[in-house]
């Protein structure tokens, strides 16, 4: 009898499906599959903007170029503050592309970047701006000539309240 009980325990532990001597094994409750975890290539949904600065991203474009066997994507865009109540100090820019995300921030820039209230900032938009940013200009890389890109800009208003704005980059040159 003891040997049968040990064998029964071994079968239960090994399969989890048999009831050894019981009339019926308990039904297994199906578990829902784990929710998918976000990947670094999926852009986040920008949070609501609690700041007084109403920043918009205008005319986003990516300049696509060959970089050996891969491609590089230089992202250009114009930032505007449209609310008039506060300017915005740019803290970081994240570009989401086919190979993940690439972030650049104020620690890499030569100086601070600010969008004045009711004004525009073209440092991320023009050739002189890209030259000023050097290797800290927003961009990404990947293996496709026509990538799906998304850019997110994080900022703080004049009162230190943070906000962010994001848009897809659908124009490629």
Residue 3 maps to a domain: no
Structure confidence at residue 46 (pLDDT) = 54
Q: Is the pLDDT of residue 90 over 50?
A: yes
pTM listed for this prediction: 0.72
Q: Is residue 78 part of a domain?
A: yes
Please check whether residue 88 lies inside any domain of the structure. Answer: yes
Lowest-confidence region among 48-57, 64-73, 93-102, 110-119: 48-57
Instruction: Decide: residue 157, CB within 10 A, 0-12 exposed, 13-18 middle, 19+ buried.
Output: buried
Q: Is residue 1 part of a domain?
A: no
State the pLDDT at residue 20. Answer: 38
In a domain, 20, yes or no: no
Please indicate, yes or no, if residue 27 is contained in any of the structural domains.
Answer: no
CB proximity list for 10: less than 8 A, separation 6 or greater: none
Asked if residue 103 belongs to a domain, the reply is yes
Please write the tens of the pLDDT for every residue from 9-31. 333 344 333 333 434 433 333 34
Q: What total of structural domains would you count in the chain?
A: 1
Quote the domain boundaries for residue 136.
55-172
Asked whether the beta carbons of 12 and 20 are under 8 A apart, the reply is: yes
Structural domain contains residue 62 = yes
- Is 80 exceeded by the pLDDT of residue 138? yes
- The CATH number for 119's domain is 2.60.40
Q: Residue 67 — very low, low, confident or very high, per pLDDT cuts 50/70/90? A: confident
Residue 104: strand pairing partners:
93
- The residue written with tokens 């079968």 in the block is 11
Residue 162 has pLDDT above 50, yes or no: yes
When pLDDT is averaged across residues 49-55 and rounded to a whole number, the result is 88
Assigned token pair, 29 = 């409750």
Helix (H, G, I), strand (E, B) or coil at 133: helix
């Amino acid at each position: 009898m003891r040997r049968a009980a040990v064998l029964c325990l071994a079968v239960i532990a090994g399969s989890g499906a048999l009831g050894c001597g019981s009339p019926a094994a308990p039904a297994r409750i199906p578990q829902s599959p784990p929710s998918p975890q976000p990947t670094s290539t999926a852009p986040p949904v920008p949070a609501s903007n609690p700041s007084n600065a109403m920043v918009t991203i205008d005319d986003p474009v990516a300049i696509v170029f060959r970089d050996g066997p891969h491609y590089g994507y230089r992202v250009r865009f114009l930032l505007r503050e449209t609310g008039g109540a506060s300017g915005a100090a740019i803290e970081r820019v994240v570009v989401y592309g086919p190979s993940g995300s690439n972030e650049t921030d104020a620690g890499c820039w030569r100086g601070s970047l600010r969008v004045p209230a009711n004004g525009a900032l073209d440092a991320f938009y023009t050739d002189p701006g890209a030259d000023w940013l050097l290797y800290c200009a927003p961009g990404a890389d990947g293996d496709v000539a026509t990538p799906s890109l998304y850019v997110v800009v994080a900022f703080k208003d004049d009162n230190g309240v943070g906000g962010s704005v994001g848009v897809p980059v659908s124009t490629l040159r």
